[in-house]
């Protein structure tokens, strides 16, 4: 619930957002701002923001670095972590990791994909430590949740990560195969957010 306000110090077509714990404010162009409005806020809007990516869930060239669909930036306190030990034992993701391990597919030496029974073609991607095993436990990290989108002939993935002084949730077109590495996509997302700082 946020009113898009044009701010002189932030540019003619941007809204300034202030996130607790972040260094400085973020100036977000209206052309990519998809944050729900917050009536009553003026000058600087307090709280996170959301952006539309260049890829609108499909189309030619919508994969890899150009496949960003959307992202949301928020206070780091909203990031609970995605290690197996961070989930309560009765949490859906933890229960699926344990109960569906016999259906897991090894994507590479340290990455497992575990099917999500709630949706056809949906997978939870887990990165294990240095010793691959047929179980998810302890410090193993949930890297992404991905679903196959037949209309786009590829996977759409959602990922959370911690930035330098904020947290991010983003979605992207991953292509025809489940991803095993997120470093280049993470860097691209963080670079885009850093570019939005009003400094």
What are the structural domain ranges in the chain?
53-195
Please give the residue that has the higher pLDDT: either 7 or 198: 198
Cα–Cα dist 141/8, whole Å: 43
Q: Is the pLDDT of residue 57 over 70?
A: no
User: Mean pLDDT for the chain?
Assistant: 84
Q: Is the pLDDT of residue 159 over 50?
A: yes
Q: Read off the pTM.
A: 0.83
Q: DSSP assignment, residue 197?
A: B
Mean pLDDT on 79-86: 86
Q: In what order do the strands lie in the sheet with 44-46?
A: 26-29, 14-18, 44-46
Cα–Cα dist 15/80, whole Å: 27
pLDDT score of 143 = 95
Q: Rounded to whole angstroms, what are the CA distances from 68 to 13, 78, 129?
A: 22, 22, 28
By 3-state DSSP, what share of the chain in percent is helix, strand and coil, each rounded to 5? 20, 35, 45
Poorest-pLDDT segment among 43-47, 129-133, 151-155: 43-47
Model confidence pLDDT, tens digit, residues 92-129: 999 999 999 999 999 999 999 999 999 989 999 999 98
pLDDT score of 134 = 85
Phi, psi for residue 102 in degrees, rounded to 5? -70, -15
């Amino acid at each position: 619930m946020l009113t898009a306000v044009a701010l002189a110090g932030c540019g003619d077509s941007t809204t300034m957002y202030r996130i607790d714990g972040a260094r400085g404010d973020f100036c977000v162009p209206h052309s990519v701002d998809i944050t729900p409005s917050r009536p009553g806020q003026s000058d600087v809007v307090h709280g996170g923001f959301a952006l539309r990516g260049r890829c609108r869930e499909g189309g030619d060239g919508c994969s890899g670095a150009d496949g960003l669909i959307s992202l949301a930036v928020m206070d780091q306190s909203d990031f609970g972590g995605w290690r197996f030990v961070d989930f309560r034992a009765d949490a859906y993701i933890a229960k699926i990791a344990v109960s569906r391990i016999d259906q897991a597919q090894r994507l590479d030496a340290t990455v497992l994909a575990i099917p999500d029974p709630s949706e056809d073609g949906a997978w939870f991607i887990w990165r294990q430590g240095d010793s691959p095993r047929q179980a998810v436990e302890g410090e193993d990290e949930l890297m992404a949740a991905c679903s196959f989108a037949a209309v786009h002939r590829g996977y759409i993935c959602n990922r959370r990560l911690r930035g330098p002084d904020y947290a991010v949730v983003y979605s992207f077109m991953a292509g025809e195969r489940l991803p095993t590495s997120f470093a280049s996509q993470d860097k691209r997302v963080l670079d885009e957010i850093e570019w939005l700082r009003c400094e």
